[in-house]
Structure 1
Amino acid sequence: MRIPTPGGTLHAVRGVSFDVQPGEVLGIVGESGSGKSVTLRALLRLHAPPIQVTGEVGYGGENLLTLPPSRLRGVRGGQISMIFQEPMSALNPVLSVGEQITENLAEHRGLRGRAAQDRAAELLDLTGIPSPRARLRDYPHQFSGGMRQRAMIAIALASEPKLLLADEPTTALDVTIQDQILRLLLRLREEMHMGVILVTHDLGVIAQTCDRVAVMYGGRLMETAPVTALFRQPRHAYALGLLRSLPGGGAHRVPLQPIPGGPPDLRVPPTACAFAPRCAYVTPACLVAEPPLLEIAPGRASACVHAAELPGPQEPQTAPTSMPARQVGA
């Protein structure tokens, strides 16, 4: 994906490839600017020109990137729905919540009038909003943050999608509401047997909800793995850094280990490992070329030269045998 900017073309996403199965929750994690949200929007062709998106998005035996608009309209919002990151800006402030749900029901389920109102109330009730029929008349500003997020979920579920794209659905919510939203998504996943792609920067959310995880950095996938395997033994230095930056749950206070430096400038595509300037395990082998994402075990892939040599998240920081570890600027 290429995004024109005044300072040059931004190569926002490069060579990203993943799949999701029915009933599975795939998490995409990474810090801000890693390419998570733009990847999710690209799946539904929500990027308008002059942004350029190339590649293939396979769904139902077709490439969504080449579908004519009339056919894409039936997939977008019908078979694949999306929960956007900020419900206050995603919801239309001049339409009632009920109108926004029934609009989706009319477009993708053919329901109108009383039938649409009844189904809209059922959806609000399904997402845990009290007095759902009365709340259909309310506007987004009359809902709390957690209720607006639930309303967004109700709109997304109105078409009974087979795949749900959730772009940081718990951002800016307190931990109690966050837990309720995540439990709701998992319950609906079970009941509707739909696949879910969950974008977040919170590894705690990944641990609580996902079956598999894809770690993104600098517009590329750095590692893909089952969630349990990633938390037990990450196979990319960036994933290891993310895990080590989490606060521990022990009785003793331990200083956090932040990742030094900042993300790369993607207006200049990296010619070596994009994480190398911030990595404590960098060696000359990391600087030869940009490491490809390679399968290292069944269901696992890594784009790290030292995937087999990295310590566990709780182990002391050690260097690959080929060169002493160094910090940025050393």
Structure 2
Amino acid sequence: MMAAPSSALLDVRDLHVRFATARGEVRAVDGVNLSVAPGETLGLVGESGSGKSVTLRAILRLLRANAAITGEVRWQGENLLALPEKRLRDIRGKDIAVIFQEPMSALNPVISIGRQIDESLVAHTALDAAGRRRRAIELLDLVGIASPEQRLAGFPHEFSGGMRQRAMIAIALAAEPKLLLADEPTTALDVTIQDQILKLLLRLNRELGMGLILVTHDLGVVAETCDRVSVMYAGRVVESGPVDRVFTAPRHAYTDALLRSMPHGGAARAPLRPIPGQPPRLDRAIAGCPFAPRCALVEDRCTVEAPPFAVVAPDQRAACWASDRLAAREGVA
């Protein structure tokens, strides 16, 4: 994997998201820091409810009215969290685009695919009607949809799952964004279509020089496609670094447990090693490390003192009191 370029395209600093609910405040994102450089692919992984999708939506303030967002999201010298809504609309879709998790929900079922692409082109380009039509055909062809001119008139229900996801990517790419936020873009697709979609995203990432943040549950996908990875748990980034380093020498007990819970090559019928217990409730205060109740390496201070998110190896950070023990077990210097 290539090294991360030095200048960040997007820099998220101390991001917090709180939801006001009838049962009290839910801390969905709790002090997240991450960055992505031009042409770089950052994987965001963790169990359901760890805050991955909320983090992506908070970057562009695409959350419901009961959400309170604090921190900084630095984009080309501007803090997106402090911008007026009108200025933010200029950036959404044009400079930063999103591929949502479920295209059948994100696409408008009563508007043709061609018109949905056209809406983005009207908002973010100076093309006339003929130019927008040519661009829409180019986009559908770019994402691998056959007979793109005829498909412009098609509606989402007339497309297969893989084709709907490709159409979503075409809409996201309409204004040639500098950064693409992909929220589990291959969920519920068969493995062949997953592979096609991921190869497409990586090709566009490489050819267009886009930054890409990829949210996924699949650690194998991250290993194959990403330059760096940030592991999230209970709304926090608990480990980050180059993919090859984090996956071969994890320095957080949660990352280690995730990797050990995956199927591995070897003896047939080898039992899986699931992580016991459940993630903590985010509407309650968490004392110490949030992973402590489920951790095989827990020690006394883990339950009362939150570990700092610190440098544990070159380009690798983790928030774990057992970091040195993990390194010793793996034989890492």
Question: Structure 1-normalised TM-score?
Answer: 0.93
Partner secondary structure for residue 17 of structure 1: strand
Match in the other structure for 1:267: 283
Paired residue type of 1:217: Y
Match in the other structure for 1:33: 49
Higher mean C-alpha deviation, range 195-204 or range 109-118: 109-118
Match in the other structure for 2:36: 20
Match in the other structure for 1:282: 298
Residue of structure 2 aligned with 1:10, choices 6, 26, 37: 26
Is residue 2:200 matched to residue 1:184?
yes
Partner secondary structure for residue 55 of structure 1: strand
CA RMSD in angstroms, aligned pairs only: 1.4
Task: Indicate conservation of the 8 Å contact 1:243/1:313, yes or no.
Answer: no
Equivalent residue pairs, number: 315
Match in the other structure for 1:147: 163
Which residues of structure 2 form unaligned runs of 5+? 1-16
Match in the other structure for 2:211: 195
**Cα displacement string for residues 263-319 of structure 1 (whole angstroms, at most 9, x for unaligned residues):** 10010121110000000100012123121211122211000001121169999xxxx
Residue of structure 2 aligned with 1:214, choices 230, 238, 242: 230
Partner secondary structure for residue 94 of structure 2: coil
Task: Indicate conservation of the 8 Å contact 1:272/1:288, yes or no.
Answer: yes
Q: How does 1:213-252 map to 2 (within 5 A)?
A: 213-252=229-268
Q: How does 1:162-181 map to 2 (within 5 A)?
A: 162-181=178-197
For 1:314 and 1:91, the matched residues in 2 are separated by: 46
For 2:313 and 2:74, the matched residues in 1 are separated by: 24
Match in the other structure for 2:95: 79
For 1:224 and 1:72, the matched residues in 2 are separated by: 28
Paired residue type of 1:302: A
Task: Indicate conservation of the 8 Å contact 1:24/1:211, yes or no.
Answer: yes
For 1:187 and 1:8, the matched residues in 2 are separated by: 44
- Counterparts in 2 of 1:311 and 1:295: CA distance versus 1, 3 Å: closer
Match in the other structure for 1:52: 68
For 2:30 and 2:19, the matched residues in 1 are separated by: 12
**Cα displacement string for residues 65-93 of structure 1 (whole angstroms, at most 9, x for unaligned residues):** 00111111111111000000000000000
Paired residue type of 2:49: G
Match in the other structure for 1:327: none
Paired residue type of 2:268: H
For 2:252 and 2:330, the matched residues in 1 are separated by: 15
Match in the other structure for 2:4: none
- Counterparts in 2 of 1:312 and 1:144: CA distance versus 1, 3 Å: farther
Paired residue type of 2:210: M
Is residue 2:303 matched to residue 1:306?
no
Percent identical pairs in the alignment equals 61
Question: Structure 2-normalised TM-score?
Answer: 0.92
For 2:330 and 2:289, the matched residues in 1 are separated by: 24
Partner secondary structure for residue 54 of structure 1: strand
For 1:314 and 1:273, the matched residues in 2 are separated by: 22
Task: Indicate conservation of the 8 Å contact 1:240/1:312, yes or no.
Answer: no
Paired residue type of 2:175: S
